[in-house]
């Protein structure tokens, strides 16, 4: 978080300063070891959470995949050891991860479930317009945001603001809404006849994202592959989940993570430019994340239907570069938000990202081929297969199977006023206008190397404080 603070010239974003906002949202439930395997006890830092907590439920699943304990050994074989947890500010090492699930019923704790459904008595302060699309932000002659034009079915009308307009439409729709409202690159707005309110060339640019990919092996233990292949097993597990809140369906699949900076032995294929670009990230910023995937990985087009139904079990470890140097962008194709924006993710476009991806793929293979994981591996690599061995072949495999983790961000990035690509200041206020803020993942100046969900909640809590006290 120090890099975030430095980029926006606001030391209130250092980790110690934002930690209370991370804690404020969350209610933590320790793992239930009675329902998990004996060797699947997560290490966690109780002091990373507040005793009071908030409405968002964070817990561990009531079922641990046996594959994760073997991944622990595989990670150790390539030099990644167990760490305490990933909630205390350090990401290096391997450990079970907590998830936004209710510790009792194991249901997903979404923002809707946590902040709306679970607090019905608070809703008298809030009016929600369902199935309503924001068309554009309205401004007065002084370039102050005064409301939003919206559409419900065929009805177009305006919702007027008494103080501020806050945009939280995400990495794709937030820049789209700003552009159709007159905030963004002047050339783009002029192309579609949109009146220029504030010329901000950074709107829709600087898109960061995390992607993942990895091989699959046939294994001698139970994985998620069995669910679509065995209807009786699926039925039994469904009943376990519904009536006892236990079993494989409580598990989010990606329950075990590992982070590292590549050791010297894995950097032999890196060019001087790759080393230079990676050196620009802070020392505490991992370069790669490894995620358990106790199922057939494939190309993610249809994860459930793609699972082999040959009676065997499959598992993979996916690699996720978390220090990406490629940047994507989002732009509009008209002046109407009903027309979806054009998204150019631009994944793995740089030499650095390509070399990191290849190195991480080799690291995953090394873990699977280690003597530590040998007892559960059946045969050679199942997918894509050991015939894909050269760097060029591995890169082709990655390009044909890469998938986003849906961490797209930074398309309306936070920054200082003299940064021509910045869209909002450190208080999330849009440059060039008054009464308008952006509070979502698009406002991030950088995509933090861990999963960004908790940082989205942190930013919302922090800006809410700013609004209340300003």
Please indicate if the annotation marks 375 as binding a ligand.
no
Which one is catalytic: 27, 122, 407, 469? Answer: 407
User: How many whole angstroms separate alpha carbon 337 and alpha carbon 441?
Assistant: 19
Which one is catalytic: 27, 210, 245, 451? Answer: 451
The answer to whether 273 and 351 are in contact (CB under 8 A) is yes
Please indicate if the annotation marks 176 as binding a ligand.
no
3-state SS string over 355-403?
Answer: HHHHHHHHHHHHHHCCCCCHHHEEEEEEECCCCCCCHHHHHHHHHHHCE
Residue among 109, 153, 160, 170 nearest 138 (CA) = 160
Cβ atoms within 10 Å of 125's Cβ, excluding its own? 6
User: How many whole angstroms separate alpha carbon 47 and alpha carbon 458?
Assistant: 17
Which tokens sit at 272? 């001087």
Residue among 345, 353, 311 nearest 328 (CA) = 345
Burial class (CB in 10 A: 0-12, 13-18, 19+), 302: exposed
407 is catalytic: yes
Mark 93-103 as b/e (b = at least 16 C-beta within 10 Å). bbbbbbbbbbb
Mark 147-178 as b/e (b = at least 16 C-beta within 10 Å). bbbbbeeeeeeeeebeeebbbebbbbbbbbbb
451 is catalytic: yes
Which tokens sit at 55? 């409405």
| Positions marked active-site | 407, 451
Residues annotated in a binding site = 452-453
Residues annotated in a binding site for FAD = 452-453
């Amino acid at each position: 978080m120090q890099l975030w603070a430095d980029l926006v010239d606001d030391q209130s974003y250092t980790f110690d300063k934002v930690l209370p906002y991370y804690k404020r949202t969350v209610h933590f439930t320790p793992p239930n070891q009675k329902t998990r395997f004996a060797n699947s006890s997560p290490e966690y830092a109780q002091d990373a959470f507040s005793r009071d907590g908030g409405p968002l439920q964070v817990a561990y699943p009531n079922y641990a995949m046996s594959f994760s304990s073997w991944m622990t050994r595989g990670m150790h074989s390539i030099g990644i050891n167990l760490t305490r947890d990933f909630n205390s500010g350090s990401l290096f090492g391997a450990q079970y991860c907590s998830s936004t699930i209710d510790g009792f019923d194991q249901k997903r704790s979404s923002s809707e479930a946590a902040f709306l459904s679970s607090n019905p008595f608070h809703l008298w302060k809030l009016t929600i317009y369902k199935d309503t699309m924001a068309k554009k932000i309205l401004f007065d002659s002084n370039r102050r945001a005064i409301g939003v034009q919206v559409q419900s079915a065929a009805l177009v009308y305006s919702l007027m603001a008494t103080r501020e307009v806050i945009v939280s439409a995400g990495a794709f729709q937030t820049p789209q809404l700003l552009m159709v409202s007159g905030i963004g690159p002047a050339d783009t707005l002029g192309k579609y006849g949109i009146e220029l309110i504030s010329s901000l060339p950074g709107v829709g640019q600087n898109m960061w994202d995390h992607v993942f990919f990895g091989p699959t092996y046939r294994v001698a233990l139970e994985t998620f592959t069995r669910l679509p292949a065995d209807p009786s097993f699926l039925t039994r597990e469904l009943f376990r989940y519904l009536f006892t809140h236990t079993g494989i369906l409580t598990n989010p699949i990606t329950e075990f993570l590992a982070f590292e900076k590549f050791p010297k032995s894995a950097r032999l294929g890196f060019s001087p430019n790759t080393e230079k670009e990676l050196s620009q990230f802070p020392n505490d910023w991992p370069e790669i994340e490894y995620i358990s995937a106790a199922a057939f990985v494939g190309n993610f087009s249809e994860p459930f239907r793609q699972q082999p139904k040959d009676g065997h079990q499959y598992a993979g470890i996916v690699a996720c570069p978390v220090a990406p140097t490629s940047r994507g962008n989002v732009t509009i194709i008209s002046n109407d938000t009903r027309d979806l924006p054009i998204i150019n993710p631009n994944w793995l476009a740089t030499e650095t990202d390509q070399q990191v991806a290849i190195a991480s793929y080799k690291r995953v293979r090394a873990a699977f081929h280690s003597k530590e994981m040998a007892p559960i591996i059946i045969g050679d690599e199942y997918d894509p297969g050991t015939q894909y061995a050269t760097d060029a072949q591995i890169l082709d495999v990655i390009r044909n199977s890469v998938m986003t983790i849906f961490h797209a961000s930074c398309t309306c990035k936070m920054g200082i006023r003299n940064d021509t690509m910045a869209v909002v200041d450190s208080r999330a206020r849009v440059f060039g206008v008054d009464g308008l803020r952006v509070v979502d993942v698009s406002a991030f100046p950088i995509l933090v190397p861990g999963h960004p969900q908790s940082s989205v909640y942190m930013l919302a809590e922090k800006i809410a404080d700013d609004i209340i006290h300003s």
